């Protein structure tokens, strides 16, 4: 099949809508449900991300996409008990592929609500079972076990979107798109993210641990498929904070840093011990935790989620807990123009950085890194994505 009609385009008034390829077949098959325009943008961008992450790390990879940018991305590193708790995975057995997706979705559960799940390897029973529990629009993977398909076809009253990707598909080297009747054409961004990106280290500290290298590559690959400007914080083989689509780079760094802080604050004992009633649903818990971390006053609606009134998490509590966050990696899709980005990154435990380099203020950026003992690499590649 080389053409597929869609419900509508980006919005319901944008009809007709379809996807098609010229001189070939569509690289995916619809196994269940009916895809929408944005579903397919998420699926095809996300597939490229997890395929590259799988290749670089040698482990199953996953991403959680919303509105053509990842809310999270990860490879299959083991989960400790605290992460299992904050990712709502305490009571389930997880395969490597399931672990990758749990990490990807858990990075920013607020943003992952209603996501499109992207899997590098076969969707097995444990991954499908976890997906069934979460609010998600669809999934794409290269294959599905029989049991996984049975589980997924029952989700959302049988309408859950399931796409099977052809893992051998290679698109044309030239890509095109239209804007306001004008056709744009360019070479597809086929640049490879590898250890070669981390060779030029202008800072005094030139040591990248193996974990930092993995995390920097994870962050760079994530940025390759994130709407620019973008910055990504990573730790433990997963993105923990992504700032996408901002016009100012320091705003990217702040946005992503705030998300990384929230990811770590969710592991704080006061948050882990919030006295939720037993029947509170996971999305409601996520929303309440976000309000709690933001220091907002709980209304009666929020108070009804708890058995007793929670003890407040003060600014002093937050600062004390965040001082324990170290070993975070940070990547940027273009150069840092000022040292203020490094100052903000330092507040979120960043010890390793990869960025393009080439700013007229590189000296100031390097100097700020040296002030905090941060190791930074100039990748000499830009990863804008629009």
Which stretches does DSSP call E strand in the chain? Answer: 3-5, 18-20, 28-32, 61-66, 69-75, 115-119, 136-141, 161-165, 174-179, 182-187, 230-235, 238-244, 328-332, 350-355, 375-378
DSSP state of 158: G
Two structure tokens written together for 204: 């005094």
Can you tell me the distance from the alpha carbon of 342 to that of 371, in angstroms, rounded to the nearest whole number? Answer: 10
Contact present, 232 and 241 (Cβ < 8 Å): yes
Per-residue CA distances from 145 to 65, 126, 127, 161, 318 (Å): 23, 10, 10, 16, 44
Sign of CA dihedral 218, 223, 226, 229: positive
Measure the CA–CA gap between 329 and 349, rounded to whole angstroms.
8
From 238, 232, 226, 306, select the one nearest 274 (Cα to Cα).
Answer: 306
In degrees, rounded to 5, the angle at the alpha carbon of residue 138 between the alpha carbons of residues 132 and 143 is: 85
Nearest-CA neighbor of 260 among 330, 320, 315?
A: 330
Query: Catalytic pick from 32, 45, 229, 341?
Result: 229
Residue 132 annotated to the active site = no
45 assigned to active site = no
Is 380 tagged catalytic?
no
Catalytic residue among 66, 155, 164, 224: 66
Can 386 be counted among the known catalytic residues?
yes
List the catalytic residues: 66-67, 229, 386
């Amino acid at each position: 099949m080389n053409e597929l009609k869609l419900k509508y385009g980006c919005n319901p008034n944008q009809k007709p809508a379809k996807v098609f390829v010229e001189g070939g077949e569509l690289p995916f098959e619809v196994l269940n449900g009916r895809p929408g325009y944005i579903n397919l943008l998420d699926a095809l961008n996300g597939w490229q991300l997890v395929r590259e992450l799988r290749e670089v790390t040698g482990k199953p990879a996953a991403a959680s996409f919303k509105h053509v940018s990842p809310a999270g991305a990860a490879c299959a590193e083991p989960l400790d008990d605290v992460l299992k708790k904050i990712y709502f995975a305490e009571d389930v057995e997880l395969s490597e592929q399931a672990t990758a997706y749990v990490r990807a979705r858990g990075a920013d559960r607020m943003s992952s609500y209603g996501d499109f799940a992207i899997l590098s390897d076969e969707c097995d029973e444990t991954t499908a079972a976890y997906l069934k529990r979460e609010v998600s629009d669809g999934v794409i993977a290269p294959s599905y076990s029989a049991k996984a398909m049975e589980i997924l076809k029952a989700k959302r009253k049988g309408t859950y979107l399931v796409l099977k990707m052809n893992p051998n598909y290679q698109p044309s080297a030239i890509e095109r798109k239209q804007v306001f009747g004008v056709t744009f054409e360019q070479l597809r961004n086929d640049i490879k993210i590898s250890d070669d990106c981390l060779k030029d280290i202008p800072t005094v500290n030139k040591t990248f641990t193996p974990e930092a290298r993995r995390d920097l590559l994870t962050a760079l690959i994530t940025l390759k498929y994130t709407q620019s400007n973008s910055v990504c914080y990573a730790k433990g083989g997963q993105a923990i904070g992504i700032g996408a689509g901002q016009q100012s780079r320091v705003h990217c760094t702040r946005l992503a840093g705030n998300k990384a802080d929230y990811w770590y604050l969710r592991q704080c004992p006061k948050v882990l011990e919030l006295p939720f009633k037993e029947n509170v649903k996971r999305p409601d818990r996520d929303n309440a935790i976000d309000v709690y971390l933001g220091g907002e006053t709980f209304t009666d609606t929020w108070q009804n989620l708890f058995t007793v009134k929670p003890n407040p998490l003060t600014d002093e509590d937050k600062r004390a807990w965040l001082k324990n966050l170290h070993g975070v990696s940070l990547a940027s899709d273009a150069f840092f123009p000022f040292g203020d980005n490094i100052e903000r990154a330092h507040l979120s435990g960043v010890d390793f950085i990869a960025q393009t380099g080439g700013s007229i203020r590189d000296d100031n950026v390097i100097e700020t890194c040296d002030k905090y003992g941060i190791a930074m690499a100039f990748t000499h590649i830009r990863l804008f994505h629009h």
